[in-house]
Amino acid sequence: MPEYTIATALTLLAVVLVELLWLRTGIFRKPRFWIAMAIMLSFQVLVDGWLTKLHAPIVIYDDSRTSGIRWPFDIPVEDFGFGFAMITLTLIVWLRVTGRHRVSGSSSDAADDRDGRRTR
């Protein structure tokens, strides 16, 4: 049974549901979130590709516990799901705790006060 694949799917589902049903920061509608995900993905491919390369792996996965799909550079696809979930959960909790989810991304809607805090 591919436990890592199942855990990845459940983690992704849980994080998306936390955002959509509980925290509601609106992060999935923000282009800067998707830009951050693209940046994270590019670095993840470099680092994870080096760590999991099949010809000289540093991290070894039991293929019976994954889907067996490795792309690109021999990276188990489940790693991308966990990376997305981990970064997304961190960002939505941070947005919620700091209250920044209420502030528009437009500089015309908000200004910085003397202490650097965003104000309306």
pLDDT (tens digit, 0 to 9) for every residue of the chain, 120 residues total? 699 999 999 999 999 999 999 999 999 999 999 999 999 999 999 999 999 999 999 999 988 999 999 998 899 999 999 999 999 999 999 999 998 877 555 444 444 455 556 555
Measure the CA–CA gap between 24 and 92, rounded to whole angstroms: 8
pTM: 0.78
Question: Which position has the token pair 């997305």?
Answer: 84
Measure the CA–CA gap between 26 and 34, rounded to whole angstroms: 12
pLDDT recorded at residue 16: 98
Spatial neighbors of 26 by CB under 8 A, at least 6 apart, are: 101
pLDDT recorded at residue 108: 41
For residue 8, with 0-12 CB atoms within 10 Å meaning exposed, 13-18 middle and 19 or more buried, which class applies? buried
Buried b (16+ CB within 10 A) or exposed e, 10-35: ebbeebeebbeeebebebeeeeebee
Residue 15 tokens read as 């994080």
pLDDT recorded at residue 99: 86
Q: Are 71 and 77 in contact (CB under 8 A)?
A: yes
Q: What DSSP designation does 18 have?
A: I
